[in-house]
Amino acid sequence: MDSANHHLWWNRGSWWVAFTVLHDGYRQERVRRPLGTREVGEARMRRDALMTAFDRMPGCQLSIRRRALAPPFAAAADHV
């Protein structure tokens, strides 16, 4: 999986975003929005802006993994 495209999917000719937010720590909402672009770089920027906007809303937090996962070969490369 390309982690740069996490939360993005291609649907009928344009990029969409999907993620989950928590309202007041308990109520979940699944957010799905069209990003209105065919360009993956622009879709990434729009995704990031939308997710940042939700994360900054009072009483709202993103329900996502906050750290990137290391590739399986990273630990082995340290020992070479």
Give the residue from 60, 5, 26 showing the smallest Cα distance to 52: 60
Domain boundaries, the chain: 3-64
Residue 78 has pLDDT above 50, yes or no: no
- In the prediction, which pLDDT does 65 show? 62
Residue 52 DSSP code: H
d(CA 43, CA 36): 8
pTM of the model: 0.74
**How confident is the model over 31-61, as pLDDT tens digits?**
999 999 999 999 999 999 999 999 999 999 8
